[in-house]
């Protein structure tokens, strides 16, 4: 291999890695409300630099209808969002795992690849007034979004 070919390969590899989106997992217990809201928000607001997924350590199997309605009203809902068990994403090479509830933090599984994990807890609005969903969304936007942007979207 000549020097010019080697440098072209290096530039292509470097550029390809620079354009690759970071992979983020939002983890909570039921994967029905907070983690789904965070997944949708991150994909909508930081989707140019990352791809977010969510799952639950004990997934409920359904998305909270109030959380879904809120995301729809903000234009952030995608039909692909659904409640997922942690086993469905364990083999994904995440760049960052975020736990958004204390139970998920305490029971966060080991991932095959070493991955940075952070915890930013939010109260669960499930079963509360509709206004609480908006408050939780606003807190996620205020507290979590800037942290993720700093960590992964430099």
CATH classification of the domain holding 128: 3.40.50.2300
> Would you write out the chain's pLDDT as a tens digit for each of its 154 residues?
555 544 444 444 444 455 689 999 999 999 999 999 999 999 999 999 999 999 998 999 999 999 999 999 999 999 999 999 988 998 889 999 999 987 777 777 666 676 888 999 999 999 999 999 999 999 999 999 999 999 999 8
pLDDT given for residue 15 in this prediction: 45
Which residue range(s) make up the domain with 135?
21-152
Name the region of 75 (left: φ>0; alpha: ψ -120 to 50; beta: rest).
left
Q: Which phi and psi (to 5°) does residue 3 adopt?
A: -65, -40
Examine residue 13 and state whether it is found in any structural domain, yes or no.
no
> Among all residues, which ones are annotated catalytic?
28, 101, 108
pLDDT given for residue 19 in this prediction: 63
Write 143-148 long-range contacts (CB < 8 A, 24+).
Answer: 144/38, 144/98, 144/100, 144/120, 145/41, 145/42, 145/45, 145/46, 147/118, 147/120, 148/24, 148/42, 148/46, 148/50, 148/96, 148/98
Examine residue 1 and state whether it is found in any structural domain, yes or no.
no
Examine residue 7 and state whether it is found in any structural domain, yes or no.
no
pTM of the model: 0.85
Examine residue 61 and state whether it is found in any structural domain, yes or no.
yes
pLDDT given for residue 5 in this prediction: 47
- CA separation for the pair 4, 26 (Å, rounded): 43
**Overall number of domains in the chain:** 1
pLDDT given for residue 9 in this prediction: 46
pLDDT given for residue 138 in this prediction: 98
Examine residue 136 and state whether it is found in any structural domain, yes or no.
yes
Examine residue 83 and state whether it is found in any structural domain, yes or no.
yes
Examine residue 6 and state whether it is found in any structural domain, yes or no.
no
């Amino acid at each position: 291999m000549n020097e010019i070919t080697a440098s072209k390969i290096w530039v292509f590899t470097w550029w390809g890695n620079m354009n690759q989106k970071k992979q983020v997992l939002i983890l909570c217990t039921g994967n029905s409300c907070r983690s789904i809201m965070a997944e949708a928000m991150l994909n909508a607001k930081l989707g140019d630099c990352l791809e977010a997924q969510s799952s639950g350590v004990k997934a409920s199997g359904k998305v909270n209808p109030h959380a879904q309605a809120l995301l729809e009203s903000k234009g952030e809902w995608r039909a692909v969002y659904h409640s997922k068990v942690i086993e469905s994403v364990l083999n994904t090479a995440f760049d960052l795992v975020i736990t958004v509830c204390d139970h998920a933090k305490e029971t966060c599984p080991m991932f095959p690849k070493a991955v940075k994990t952070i915890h930013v807890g939010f109260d669960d609005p499930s079963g509360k007034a509709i206004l609480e969903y908006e408050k939780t969304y606003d807190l996620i936007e205020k507290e979590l979004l800037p942290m993720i942007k700093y960590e992964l979207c430099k």
